[in-house]
Structure formats: C-alpha cells, structure tokens
A = this chain, B = another copy of it.
Amino acid sequence: MTAAVTTAPLFKRVALIGFGLIGGSIARGARVQGLVGEIVTTARSEKTRARVAELGLVDRVVATNVEAVEDADLVILCIPVGACGPVAAEIAAHLKPGAIISDVGSVKGAVVRDMAPHLPDGVHFIPAHPVAGTENSGPDSGFAELFINRWCILTPPDGTDPEATAQLRAFWAALGAKVEIMTPDHHDLVLAITSHLPHLIAYTIVGTADELAQVTESEVIKFSAGGFRDFTRIAASDPTMWRDVFLANKDAVLEMLGTFTEDLSKLTRAIRRGDGEALFDHFTRTRAIRRGIVETGQDSAAPDFGRPHANLAKKGE
C-alpha cells in the first residue's frame, strides 16, 4: 500500500503509537511525501484501531504497542503526555537497536523525566514537539498539511548522535515543518506562554460564561461574534491531552499565570479608576505582536483569520 516515491524513504519502518490528530497527520503527510517504507500504528481502543484500518492510511494496524515497535527505525509516541512514561516502560525491551524514539508532547521536561529512565542504551531518544494543531481530535481529524510552515521543536539530550538528530529533522522538514532545537526547560517556558496559558484562559472564560446567572447560554452563543467565539475554538480541544499538559508543566504555567494575573490587576485598576490613558497605551502596544505573527506567516492576514463570509447578494430581495 506504499505510495509511489521517486526518492529513497527516510525510514524503512515507522511506528506511530496513537492515531489522533497528530499521529493521523504524520501518517497522512508521510504517505503523501513518500517518507517511509512502511507505517505501523496502534491505538488504545479497539474502536479507533478498527477505524484506522478502515481509513487505509497505514500499512498495518496492530493490537499492542509492543507489536507496533517491532523492527521500527522510528517510533513516535503520539499520545497524551501523561501516558508517555508507562508506554516507554512497556516498549523499552522491544525496541530495535539504533532506532530513534520520539514523541509529540506539548511538554518536554516531564516527558524526558518519565521516558528516559526506561530506554535502553543503543536507541536514540529525541523528544519532539510539533507546534501545530486544531481543536479537533480522533483518527479522522488529521490532515497531511497540518505541519506546513509550523515549527517543530526538538530537545535532544546532551550527547545525542548528531546523525540521528539530523535524520529526525529531515523527517519533520519533509512534512513541511521548520525545525528548531532547544532545551526541554526553555521549551516548557516558551510553550507555557504561547500555548498553555492561552488554553487555560480560554477554558476559564468559556466556563465563566457557561455559569453566569444573568446571561443565558443562548445569549452567549448568539452574541459570541463580539469576540468570545475566538476563545471557544481552543477551549474545545481534547480534555485528556490538556489535563496532562497542565499537570506536567505545572511550574512554568503557574509562573506565567502569576505574571498574567498581575497584568490583569493593573488593567482592572485602570478601568476602576477611569484611567483612559493607561488603557489606550496598553491597547496600542499589543497591535505590534499581531503584526509580527502575520508577517512571519503564523496566521492569516485576512480579517477574522480569513473566516468565510456569506454573500450579501444572495440575501437581497
């Protein structure tokens, strides 16, 4: 079932442990690009495995993690961060010598701490985090283009074979990603502000709206185009994945939360005191960051993120 390729595949056999948004997107992208000889995958539930088999995107769907990693040159754990330690323990004895073991978790310090002790000498452990996603999850949610122009951060431990790192870098680059290398600790700080705190804030405000006595849920939904709806997208993300992220990156998240709370108090005080100048100054500064994000291609320059607009003519009489 391998797609026709003109160049030699980067890996003969890749094992994807987990087939959600990220695992499914890796499989689709690798297939489209002809990056691997064979893709073997597994998932925890029988239902997901059946659906993956039906989708026909991989060469084999197997029942256990141990079977999946057999003879694989690249093993990628595409599962919630909290499950990485136990899975590493489970597969450790079955890894092929010389294989690259990686993951896609949104936290790196905890993943290194949980996985590294189990892994045998002779395999290359290179944690990775593709900074890409959508609010959807499950085997049907992936798409081959997910990683294009997004960053993938690798956090190879000191002493990692540069050859292995280069090989994993080439794999992610071929999926369309730009690759950056940093330490696990720095990764966790950067992601705490660019991803974890935004998700926590979004989850909070959507919950707040849900519980208000004075405003009905249907009013919140109806008038959400005033700004609220932008928060609901990321507050619809996978609950298991995000529970694990906050538990695993506790320290960095609490630190960012502290700074955010101070800043919110400052703006709250400006509102209470009617200090229009302080508000105006703050609101002017924040436009520059948006500009940077659009200029570097990390978001669409079209208004409303390029959301589709209806056609007025169709509604005319």
The residue on B at minimum CB distance from A141 is B303
Interface residues of A in 131-174 (CB under 8 A from B): 131-136, 141, 143-146, 148-151, 153, 174
Q: Tell whether, in the assembled complex, residue A312 and residue B232 are in contact, meaning their CB atoms are under 8 Å apart.
A: no
Are A198 and B227 CB-contacts (below 8 A) given A236-B290, A292-B217? yes
A298-317 near B? 1/0 per residue, CB < 8 Å: 11101111111111110111
Q: Counting CB contacts under 8 A, is A119 at the interface?
A: no
Contact A312 B225 (CB under 8 A): no
In the docked arrangement, what's the CA distance between A254 and B267, Å? 11
CB-contacts of A62-120 with B (<8 A) = 82, 106
A316 (CB) vs chain B CBs: closest residue: B33
CA distance A236 to B289 in the complex (A): 8
Q: Known interface pairs A33-B316, A247-B279, A311-B145. Does A222 touch B296 (Cβ–Cβ under 8 Å)?
A: yes
How many chain A residues touch B (Cβ–Cβ < 8 Å)?
Answer: 128
Contact B303 A221 (CB under 8 A): no
A59 within 8 A of partner (CB): no
Known contacts A190-B223, A223-B194, A285-B210, A299 near B132 by CB under 8 Å: no
One of A11-19, A41-49, A255-263 contacting the partner: A255-263
Contact of A271 among B237, B239, B254, B299 (CB under 8 A): B254
A contact face: mostly helix, strand, loop, or mixed: helix
Count copies of this chain in the complex: 2
Given the complex, which residues of B lie within 8 Å of A271, measured CB to CB?
Answer: 200, 246-247, 250, 253-254, 257
Encode A203-216 as 1/0 by CB contact (under 8 A) with B: 11111111110110
Bound state CA distance, A148 and B276, in angstroms?
A: 33
**Is residue A58 contacting chain B, with contact meaning CB distance below 8 A?**
no
| Complex Cα gap A312–B31 (Å) | 11
Q: Are A225 and B307 in contact (CB under 8 A)?
A: no
**A198 CA / B209 CA spacing, docked (Å):** 10
Q: Are A148 and B234 in contact (CB under 8 A)?
A: no
Q: Are B310 and A232 in contact (CB under 8 A)?
A: no
Q: Which of B136, B174, B203 contacts A267 (CB 8 A)?
A: B203
Please determine whether A226 and B133 come into contact, CB atoms closer than 8 angstroms.
yes
Once the chains are docked, how many angstroms separate the CA of A293 from the CA of B226? 12
The 5 closest A-B pairs by CB, nearest first: A195-B226, A134-B303, A239-B283, A236-B290, A198-B227
Offer 22 A-B interface pairs, CB within 8 angstroms, sorted by A: A7-B317, A131-B223, A149-B310, A151-B223, A189-B215, A191-B223, A193-B220, A194-B223, A195-B223, A202-B230, A208-B263, A220-B289, A229-B299, A230-B233, A231-B231, A233-B290, A233-B299, A233-B304, A235-B289, A236-B290, A261-B264, A300-B308
